[in-house]
Chain A
């Protein structure tokens, strides 16, 4: 009896490895051949027209669209998120912190389709009122992504700051540093690896985000030429076209090839984040 249960436990124990391999296997099976045979076309052409008579599978515009949305959103959300994390960790009172952390955690739980809803129903008319010709564009995507990732950055950043030993703070304050001098000269350098991990995970989350950007970026395959240009991301392309692509056909394989790229990208980001965390464990101890 016990033998059976322990067998089950060991089997389930490695399930995460099995699934990660299975995911790679199933996506790679459809996508990897296409990726290798079309890699030059994909990375050099800005034209993505998979349903044309002579289909073209250039993803440059899709990559630029992704970088545009993610970059713009992180430009605002990273400094803001870390500042908010510093406030939570170092400046707020005990009770306020508990409440704010609950709020941040709840905001982090809002599903991405609801963020998409917010982008379409609320931010869209606001942008139009602010002078944009179309409200569904890259800026809308960046705003939605920024609002989405802020709670994540705040809570991961707060964890990183809390991980710095209390003795560091006491030492700095005992030297006569003000609270801000303590933060700037001692805390931020000591927590830098943890904060970097927070940012990396934020990047991974933004790049992989699908429903919200699918709904709000305006869905135009083109390189943004003005602030309010509609764009399209890699993830949104898969979500929008997978339903129509003939199973097993070239278009279908192309979408899986995008999946392979996304998988590889987030894998690398996670690997770097993991390395960074382990580095911290060794240096701070």
Chain B
């Protein structure tokens, strides 16, 4: 405390207690304002979208310029994109997390990597889109494809996996490692047989969050892999594809005469996917904290 005026106000107790009550009320109002409108909006989307959701909505191609039919290719396309991004970012991210937790120590390089992760996480999604276009679509000549889009998403979500892997591994007590070293195990054997298995659920939480994040992102795939209207299912990573997030954007801003319920239903599906994955991650994390063996 640096400033001089740290004395408690000398006022009648009654006044101070009344103020306490008012502040309590104001802060309660603040948390309500922070959460209630957003929650209400989510429920409103569910209310408006639910009537248009049927089995056919998930299994049919969009028809008549997207004004009828379902969203099957968008769902399948998102699966492809998320799959490619996982294949790229999970191995690299986990290995990088292992490096930061077990090898890097407090070296200058480790500081540099930490800084890079923070910055990578803060790069705007549209800048990732520019990078994906320049690096994957044009320079590596992957074209506008699932591969380019998935890789762009992968680079973007890499920090999520690195950070959660690092945290999960560091939460494994050091004594576990020491015990293993004393048995004559090498550093890698210790990591593989002792640290990683204990950190696995925590790492998994990060991977789930990555899935949800990539499924929701739009800007990075806008110019790298996603198409507005392509009512066929992709067959390889070299195809372009529709994507759920892109479809929400297209229905709202680019295509005229789409029934309102269809728009809400599409947004609801995207919202549902993202919130389900995040809820799952939260449940997993809570379960882990309760059942930690150390």
**Chain A residues near B (Cβ < 8 Å):** 2, 5-6, 8-17, 19-20, 22-23, 26-27, 29-30, 80-81, 83-84, 86-88, 91-92, 100, 102-107, 109-114, 116-118, 120-122, 147, 150-151, 154, 175-181, 185-186, 189-190, 201, 204-205, 207-211, 215, 235, 238-239, 242-243, 247, 255-256, 259, 262-263, 266-267, 269-271, 273-274
Contacts of A269 in B (CB 8 A): 122
Contacts of B95 in A (CB 8 A): 8-9, 11-13
A81, B27: Cα distance in complex, Å: 10
A26, B93: Cα distance in complex, Å: 22
Closest CB-CB distance, A16 to chain B, in whole Å? 4
A190, B6: Cα distance in complex, Å: 12
Chain B positions 107 through 142: 1 when the CB is less than 8 Å from some CB of chain A, otherwise 0: 001001101111110111111111101110011000
A175, B9: Cα distance in complex, Å: 12
Q: Contact check, B8 vs A181: say whether CB atoms are below 8 A apart.
A: yes
Q: Contact check, B249 vs A274: say whether CB atoms are below 8 A apart.
A: no
Contacts of B6 in A (CB 8 A): 185-186
Contact of B131 among A9, A27, A84 (CB under 8 A): A27
Known contacts A104-B34, A180-B23, A262 near B126 by CB under 8 Å: yes
Q: Contact check, A181 vs B16: say whether CB atoms are below 8 A apart.
A: yes
Q: Contact check, B27 vs A91: say whether CB atoms are below 8 A apart.
A: yes
Known contacts A178-B17, A210-B219, A88 near B103 by CB under 8 Å: no
Contact of A13 among B99, B158, B187 (CB under 8 A): B99
**Chain B residues near A (Cβ < 8 Å):** 1-3, 6, 8-9, 16-17, 19-20, 23-24, 26-28, 30-31, 33-35, 37-39, 41-42, 44-45, 91-93, 95-96, 98-100, 103-104, 109, 112-113, 115-120, 122-131, 133-135, 138-139, 155, 158-159, 162, 186-189, 212-213, 215-219, 222-223, 245-246, 248-249, 252-253, 260, 263-264, 267, 270-271, 274-275, 278-279, 282
Q: Contact check, B20 vs A215: say whether CB atoms are below 8 A apart.
A: no
Contacts of B249 in A (CB 8 A): 113, 116, 211, 215
A110, B268: Cα distance in complex, Å: 11
The contact sample of 14 A-B pairs, CB cut-off 8 A, is A2-B186, A2-B188, A2-B189, A23-B155, A109-B278, A113-B270, A150-B34, A178-B17, A208-B124, A210-B218, A239-B222, A247-B138, A270-B118, A270-B122
Contacts of B45 in A (CB 8 A): 114, 117-118
Q: Contact check, B158 vs A208: say whether CB atoms are below 8 A apart.
A: no
Contacts of B30 in A (CB 8 A): 80, 83-84, 86-87
A233, B225: Cα distance in complex, Å: 24
Q: Contact check, A6 vs B188: say whether CB atoms are below 8 A apart.
A: yes
A267, B88: Cα distance in complex, Å: 24
Q: Contact check, B116 vs A110: say whether CB atoms are below 8 A apart.
A: no
Q: Contact check, B130 vs A255: say whether CB atoms are below 8 A apart.
A: yes
Contact of B122 among A2, A186, A215, A266 (CB under 8 A): A266
Contact of A16 among B91, B162, B253, B278 (CB under 8 A): B162
Contacts of A13 in B (CB 8 A): 95-96, 98-100, 103-104, 113
Contact of B38 among A110, A205, A208, A266 (CB under 8 A): A110
A192, B121: Cα distance in complex, Å: 23
Main secondary structure on chain B at its contact with chain A? helix
Contact of B96 among A16, A92, A106, A175 (CB under 8 A): A16
Q: Contact check, B96 vs A259: say whether CB atoms are below 8 A apart.
A: no
Q: Contact check, A107 vs B131: say whether CB atoms are below 8 A apart.
A: no
Contact of B216 among A29, A111, A176, A204 (CB under 8 A): A111
Contact of A10 among B103, B246, B253, B279 (CB under 8 A): B103
Q: Contact check, A20 vs B119: say whether CB atoms are below 8 A apart.
A: yes
Closest CB-CB distance, B256 to chain A, in whole Å? 13
Contacts of B119 in A (CB 8 A): 20, 266-267, 270-271
Closest CB-CB distance, B59 to chain A, in whole Å? 23
> Which partner residue on chain A sits nearest B136 by CB separation?
A26
Contacts of B126 in A (CB 8 A): 208, 210, 235, 238-239, 259, 262
Contacts of B133 in A (CB 8 A): 242
A116, B104: Cα distance in complex, Å: 41
Contact of B125 among A20, A208, A267 (CB under 8 A): A208
Contacts of B246 in A (CB 8 A): 113
